[in-house]
Amino acid sequence: METHDFYKKQKTCLQVATNVTEQHRHVSRAKRGQILGHLRGFRGCTVWFTGLSGAGKTTLSFELEAYLIQHGIPAYSLDGDNMRTGLCKDLGFSKQDREENIRRVAEVAKLFADAGQICLCSFVSPFAEDREVARRIHKDSDLPFFEVFVDTPLEVCEQRDTKGLYQKARKGIIKGFTGIDQLYETPENPELVVKTVNATVEESTMQVVDMLRENGIIPLLQEENSSVPELFVPSYRLVSAEEEAASLPKLNIETLDLQWLQILSEGWAYPLKGFMREDQFLQTIHFDCQLNGRETINQSIPIVLPLSTFDKNR
């Protein structure tokens, strides 16, 4: 988006009232986190599901909400259909109304996130600049924002037609329906793309869980912590992992390296997720352990992959 356009769009976020001063509360996020749930700590953020009607946004958001709550992590879902019967009931589906819808929802999501909830938003949000406004609203408040593109092809959504809306749109009964006679702008840099074709709801949900875990939002949960976490690629990620692997530089390894790879992938060298980096190597050499957050884990054997200077430089 051009900077000029972005600021034009930001107009919707500008304050109209004058003589209004921001009031600063006394409770810090860290303090708030201490009393939230049994997995204490501030985890406030927003996960923004975007995609066509029928893509799976609501299903994933509700499934994730249930998962998080079950694990003692505060979460709350805001859904398009639900918001449009309350706070946004004065809005339709024109470009301007969708823009205002997303702005209002993003402001509400920000408040939930600021209160320490993982706020799960499922909105078609078809326009990139509106999603960018939602992201900016969070960024300005220093809150993590994760855009999740629920990437389900139009044909599949139309076949699902969970609410019979595509049929109505095709007949012209509904005008301005996303994907039929209104545009859906595909996200260019989402934090995560979830493809729901040939994937169960649970598998797709776990993709989002993994992303939140990788970003430190969800901690390694107690029961998962007690077993050795394996690093094998789950079946639902196989195709994309193979594609990614094919695009990476290649290196020939020896049988011994392969055996270490096996040990790493089976989780026996937890918390290592691969051959040691310099800092991990130094921790082992100097302290016989690996630091993982606040815990230290014994690791006296360096697990490294020897490289020639030629390979290092290419």
Ligand X SMILES: Nc1ncnc2c1ncn2[C@@H]1O[C@H](COP(=O)(O)OP(=O)(O)O)[C@@H](O)[C@H]1O
Which residue ranges make up the site for ligand PPS (CB under 6 A)? Answer: 53-54, 57-58, 80-81, 84, 93, 98, 101-102, 123-126, 163, 165, 174, 176-178
Size of the site for ligand X (CB under 6 A): 17
Largest CA distance in the chain: 72
- Judged by beta carbon, residue 116 or residue 126, the one nearer ligand X is 126
Is position 54 an interface residue for ligand X (rule: CB under 6 A)?
Answer: yes
H, E, C per residue of 66-78: HHHHHCCCCEEEE
* Integer Cα distance of 142 and 145 in angstroms: 9
Q: Write the CB contacts of 236 (distance below 8 Å, at least 6 apart in sequence).
A: 199, 200, 203, 204, 206, 207
Pairing of strands 289-292, 118-122: unpaired
Residue in 53, 61, 77, 125 annotated catalytic: 125
Query: Which residue is closest to ligand X by CB?
Result: 56
Min dist. Cβ of residue 206 to ligand PPS (A):
21
Q: Nearest distance from residue 186's CB to ligand X, in Å?
A: 15
- Closer Cβ to ligand PPS, 135 or 237, answer by number: 135
- Per the listing, tokens 């003692």 go with 72
Nearer to ligand PPS, 53 or 284 (CB): 53
Contacted entry of ligand PPS, ligand X, none for residue 178, CB cut-off 5 to 8 Å set by kind:
ligand PPS
Between 42 and 123, CB nearer to ligand PPS: 123
Binding to ligand X by residue 58, rule CB under 6 A? yes
Structure token digits, residue 272: 């290592």
Looking up tokens 């990139």 gives: 128
Angstrom distance (rounded) from CA 182 to CA 166: 12
Distances from the Cα of 158 to the Cαs of 122, 168, 170, in angstroms?
Answer: 18, 11, 10
Q: Which does 201 bind (CB under 5 to 8 A by kind): ligand X, ligand PPS, none?
A: ligand X
- As annotated, the active-site residues are 125
Binding region for ligand X (CB under 6 A):
51, 53-60, 122, 160, 162, 196, 199-201, 204
